[in-house]
Amino acid sequence: MDYILNTLRSIRLPARYYSLVVPAIATVIVLTILFNIIDSHINAFVPLPKFLSKSKQRELPKTRGDNILYGGHFFPHREWMVPRHLDKFEKLFLDSYLEYRAFLDRQSRTYADAVKNYKKRYNRSPPPGFDKWFSYAQTKASLVIDDYDSIEESIAPYRNMPQKEFLHRMEELRVYDNVFRIAEYKVIERNELMKGQGLWHLLDWDFFYDLPEGFLMYINTWDEPFVFPQELNRTQKIEFFDLGRKPWWPALLEHCNVWEGRNSKYVRKNDRHDYIATIQDAKEALDLCAHPEYEGMHGFFNAPGSLMVTKQLVPIFSVSKLSVFKDLLLPSAAPWHPEFLGNGGIKDFVGKTKKLYWRGSATGGDNNGDNVLKSHRSRLASISQEHPDLIDAKVTTYFGDLEGLQQQWREFGEPERTDHGAENNFSFLMDMDGHGLSGRYYRLLRSKAVVFKSTAVQQWHDDRMFPWVHYIPIRLGMKELAETVKWFATTERGDEIGRRIAEEADWWSRTGVREDDANVYTYRLFLEYAALFVEPRPN
């Protein structure tokens, strides 16, 4: 205050003005402090007038204690104040967004923290080489250090297997030509073969040389998973069975009864929401043993086009799986291939046609005259016919036997062909399974549109893709699809939240599910897997 008075005296104002100017300046200072307090706390719930709003850009991860709920990467956070009344879809977005923020904020920043959090989470010390993995993750600017529960879940059955039996089963796999064997650092030497398979050649596996001696792995070269355990007798020899082109659901029920003991690891709540609300809900929705209503909702359940399985528990790496399979999940490099990721002409969210758009072939199952509309892709096209003002979904190529082809033609008419560029004109894009995982998912996330996703497939990124923040989750039955699209397409708040989701997805696709992030995940997976060869376990 003395500084202010001296400054005013230097200006040589008449003395009578001091009694007016000084209180005015003091008032401005007090109001500025007050508005800053409101800015960081109250305004998270009640929006300030625009002329009092500050315009500043923020990037995640935020600092601890930041209470701005709708803070964004691309827009001034004043555009995202929470209204007094929340629609159900706004609440779904907000709750998941807070969970996402907490997820980013809790990740370890130092190696000591990473070790501490690992021990706390898994009740054991990290595997050998964890320090090198952490350095690698830091070099790749990975935002995810601690949350790799999907790896833990997939490795867990093999931790309980006696080491002698584990090694014996690895030897048994040598005679099968439908798996790709990597041993004794030969991955680089056999890279040309890997290119031929088209699945892993984009991934940087230089860290392979840091793994323990004796490391041996088998990679599934098919789209479908392999390990479908149903036999509790561990002494039986490994055999592969063909379950393709016929109803598969009875075999699934047998697995749930024998292997899972009729109990799912997820507890179904009586008051379960109609919508997939949280990331845990999204995982629960993939648990086939917990959802008997899924029968007839997916082409793979009806009659998979091809499916070779072993009923014995054996460690095989695959790029996707259903919950009842015990394959170890590797990232597929296919989504980063230019054929899938390339998309020129991306347009901003504003100004696009407010419809849900999808084009794709009738893959995902063996279509016949009885099961065409039970296929997930055909059902989407059928829903589109019921809601043409909201959904534009068409099949581009038909597959199946003669009766199946005729049935598809009667239902949908002549197949419509189109190019990838057409999707850039729509605000909402649908992503669905094919024979296995969707190769277009990451491209859609970068398209500055809202991605709606319906899937039965587990993938490596499931621990880090947050529903209602990065995509809109849709159950296999798709009963909620039209209502959800309508809210985003026809309401002011739907448009605002949709724009935000489109930007969050674009940012996360370039920050959290990059090729580098897939490599960090793969390195971590290999460390945990390699420990099975060196850590003593009871026989």
Residue extents of the structural domains in the chain: 2-84, 147-275+284-336+518-534, 344-515
Report the C-alpha gap between 107 and 112 in whole angstroms. Answer: 12
- Full-prediction pTM beyond 0.85? no
**pLDDT for the residue numbered 419:** 73
Indicate if the pLDDT at residue 493 is higher than 80. yes
**pLDDT for the residue numbered 18:** 53
Give me the mean pLDDT over the 446-461 stretch.
95
Higher pLDDT: 255 or 458? It is: 458
Please state which of the ranges 10-14, 112-116, 394-398, 443-447 shows the lowest mean pLDDT. Answer: 10-14
**pLDDT for the residue numbered 32:** 59
Indicate if the pLDDT at residue 434 is higher than 80. yes
For the record, the structure tokens of 219 come out as 């990679």
CA angle, corner 66, sides to 60 and 71, nearest 5?
50
Model confidence pLDDT, tens digit, residues 391-403: 999 988 777 777 7
For the record, the structure tokens of 238 come out as 């490994």
Indicate if the pLDDT at residue 228 is higher than 50. yes
Give me the mean pLDDT over the 14-22 stretch.
56
For the record, the structure tokens of 264 come out as 């799912």
**pLDDT for the residue numbered 204:** 63
Report the C-alpha gap between 175 and 165 in whole angstroms. Answer: 17
Model confidence pLDDT, tens digit, residues 330-370: 998 878 877 777 777 889 999 999 999 999 887 777 776 67
Give me the mean pLDDT over the 36-48 stretch.
38
Query: Backbone phi, then psi, for 251, in 5-degree steps?
Result: -65, -35
> CATH 3.40.50.2000: does it fit domain 344-515?
yes
Report the C-alpha gap between 298 and 379 in whole angstroms. Answer: 9
238 band by pLDDT with thresholds 50, 70 and 90: confident
Q: Centre a 10 Å sphere on the Cβ of residue 330 and count the other Cβ atoms it contains.
A: 23
Instruction: Give the DSSP per-residue string, 316-366.
Output: -EES-B-TT--PEEPPPSGGGSHHHH-------STTSEEEEEEEE-S-SS-
Please state which of the ranges 25-39, 109-123, 271-285, 489-503 shows the lowest mean pLDDT. Answer: 25-39
User: What is the share, in percent, of the chain residues with pLDDT greater than 90?
Assistant: 41
Indicate if the pLDDT at residue 528 is higher than 90. yes
16 band by pLDDT with thresholds 50, 70 and 90: low
Give me the mean pLDDT over the 63-72 stretch.
34
**pLDDT for the residue numbered 136:** 94
Q: Centre a 10 Å sphere on the Cβ of residue 207 and count the other Cβ atoms it contains.
A: 18
